[in-house]
Structure 1
Amino acid sequence: MARILIPLANGSEELEAVTLIDLLRRAGFDVVTAGLVPGPVRCSRGTMLLPDQTLDEAEGGDYDLMVLPGGLPGADHLNADPRIHRLLKKLSEQGRFVGAICAAPKVLADAGLLKGRKATSFPGVLEGMELGDDTTLTAETVQRDGNVITSRGPGTAMDFALALIELLAGPEKRREVEVPLQRPGGRQA
């Protein structure tokens, strides 16, 4: 069973965070949510989430995927935390997966993980950064390049989570999770 770390910061986008947590748990993965500081996290629209543990407690764990929800100022808080950069680089060096949605791909960029890769984000987030000529920005709903997976925003959160399920457990597991959701245009039985 895959083990996944989802860090949460004040100002994270709740639609993205909850969608990722919910669908990845429906797939049977061991999902660990970790707050940058102890206690509840107030998301970008005021929703309160209670992480499973603190990032200090989660930092020593072994993960197959670390995925960052976007939202502002949540993505900025994640980006300012050296533990996040350290974990992202560690997982990437181990060949594990790292992912980010909405404004959070800028965290991957600042950690140096988008060099020579294709990536997507909320419009305007990555375009204003100095990424170098070897980074290709796309408008794809979900963009995978090697062990890095990025997505556009709240409206793509379900597609992103389902792509992560397929990546970690294959198309049958994705179908098992997606069919009961009754998504218009989604995979059906």
Structure 2
Amino acid sequence: MKKFLLFISNGSEMLEISPFIDIFGWNKIVGDKKEKIDIVTISYENFVNATWNLILKAELKFNEDIMYENEYDGIIIPGGFGNAGYFRDIKEERFQKLLKKFYEKDKLIIGICTGAIALGEAGILKGKKATTYFLDNKRYFNQLEKFGAIPVMETIVQDKNIYTTANPESALIMGFKLLEKVTSKENMEKVAFNMGYLYLVKK
């Protein structure tokens, strides 16, 4: 069995949360049944104020005393908006410690869009190729150098066990990429086909 934490902060963007839940939910119905894969939502409190006035209920309430890095195969950090409290939440020391623990255990770490800023704040992008949101005025992308990262203006960038992505659309692509990584290309294509994403299926 494989399990991934999906950390939802205040201000997280729904389009960067839902693809992982939906894709792996569909995988349980139409995908490979050989291995169970769970995406488990977690947040500081039971309820989270996501972007655009959505209130979400996470499955787990974050507890600093629990060694999540020993139980989970990786962690996914959706991006979000500062005016909804996102950057305040990801700069919390307890959250940065959590990311460092996953990094020290060589677990898979995925930062979607401005979620890459969370990885930078935790100090785990030093010397790593990374991307983040680079449209509008590049104010987030320009922060990568401050964290010691090597900025790459691409939609998805992988550096060993760390993935960073550049926009809300990339969450869907990354969701299918993760499914392929933990199962197989054939299984990913089967799930994508059944979800109607025919452009992802090999002709």
TM-score (norm 1): 0.88
Deviation, 1:57, is 7.9
Q: For 1:48, which of 48, 55, 58 is the aligned residue? A: 55
Number of residue pairs the alignment of both structures matches: 186
2:116, 2:167 → 1: CA distance? Answer: 11
Q: Which residue of 1 aligns with 2:80?
A: 71
SS at 1:128's partner residue? helix
Q: Which residue of 2 aligns with 1:128?
A: 143
2:197, 2:38 → 1: CA distance? Answer: 24
Deviations 1:124-143 (A, max 9, x none): 213135133xx321222211
8 A Cα contact 2:132 2:164, kept in partner: yes
8 A Cα contact 1:69 1:75, kept in partner: no
2:63, 2:191 → 1: CA distance? Answer: 31
Deviation, 1:188, is 4.9
1:172, 1:84 → 2: CA distance? Answer: 36
Q: Which residue of 1 aligns with 2:11?
A: 11
Q: Which residue of 1 aligns with 2:160?
A: 146
Matching of residue 35 in structure 1 with residue 56 in structure 2: no
Deviations 1:135-167 (A, max 9, x none): 321222211110101111112211011111122
In structure 2, the CA distance between the partners of 1:24 and 1:84, relative to structure 1 (3 Å rule), is farther
Deviations 1:6-37 (A, max 9, x none): 11112110111111222133334211101212
Q: For 2:103, which of 66, 77, 92 is the aligned residue? A: 92
> Percent identity of the aligned residues?
27
Moved over 6 A (4+): none
In structure 2, the CA distance between the partners of 1:27 and 1:57, relative to structure 1 (3 Å rule), is farther
SS at 1:127's partner residue? helix
Q: Which ranges of structure 2 fall in alignment gaps of 5 or more residues?
A: 29-36
8 A Cα contact 1:34 1:58, kept in partner: no
In structure 2, the CA distance between the partners of 1:58 and 1:8, relative to structure 1 (3 Å rule), is farther
Q: Which residue of 2 aligns with 1:22?
A: 22
Deviation, 1:46, is 1.4
Deviation, 1:184, is 5.2
2:89, 2:180 → 1: CA distance? Answer: 26
Deviation, 1:173, is 2.8
Q: Which ranges of structure 1 fall in alignment gaps of 5 or more residues?
A: none
SS at 2:52's partner residue? coil
Q: Please say which structure displays the higher CA radius of gyration.
A: 2
Q: For 1:118, which of 129, 135, 138 is the aligned residue? A: 129
Matching of residue 2 in structure 1 with residue 2 in structure 2: yes
